Amino acid sequence: MTKRKAEPIFMVSGLPRCGTSMMMQMLEAGGMQVITDHIRQADEDNPHGYYEFEKVKKIKEDSSWLDGCHGKVFKMVSALLYYLPNSKKYKIVFMKRKMDEMLASQNTMLRRQGRNDAVVSDEEMAKKLDKHLLKVETWLAKQRNFKAIYINYNSVIENALENAKNVALFLNLPMDIDKMVKVVESSLYRQKTGNI
């Protein structure tokens, strides 16, 4: 096994609108090689880009591209984590955020896209997402080839330095902490619901 393949595959995961793109930006600034295809362009909702990689969405059908991801980081929505092959080792920075803020951010984005025809209430959606998160976190805790750190978006906004240090320690990589901190823009925290 080469040195590169001995390295874990790094990921940023979580629900939509919970700060995954911000964390990807932090990791890139800190010195990590990010995997993204830039197909989804930056917009008003994510002015620094979405850091998405289209092949991630097809992980259930094809995971061969993972062979080139050792030591690098990509973004994967939490619902797809189950389809990652057990033959590899993963380290996941799992982003969390206040549920009401996340839903408000999602609704704002959907309205801008003209897709505001919600069929379930925010309350019902929050219950579904909470149930999903509990299931994913319980599952991750049982996987021998996964290691995860849970980072709160709201906490990053309040104390970027402490969170950047915690992430670097978890990843066990020589990260540029100062550059990680500098990319955190509190001005982009637009769906606030009081104290953390």
CATH number, domain of 73, equals: 3.40.50.300
Ranking 21-35, 42-56, 83-97, 129-143 by mean pLDDT, the lowest is 42-56
- Is residue 151 within 8 Å of 96, Cβ to Cβ? yes
Tell whether 170 is covered by a domain: yes
Q: What is the mean pLDDT of the chain?
A: 86
Name the nearest CA neighbour of 60 among 77, 87, 81, 89.
Answer: 81
pLDDT, average across residues 63-86: 96
Tell whether 134 is covered by a domain: yes
Tell whether 194 is covered by a domain: no
Tell whether 104 is covered by a domain: yes
pLDDT at 37: 85
Tell whether 191 is covered by a domain: no
Give, to the nearest 10 degrees, the angle between helix 99-112 and helix 122-142.
Answer: 120
Report residue 170's pLDDT band, with 50, 70 and 90 as the boundaries: very high
Tell whether 91 is covered by a domain: yes
Tell whether 188 is covered by a domain: no
Structural domains in the chain (count): 1
Tell whether 72 is covered by a domain: yes
The domain of 61 spans: 3-180
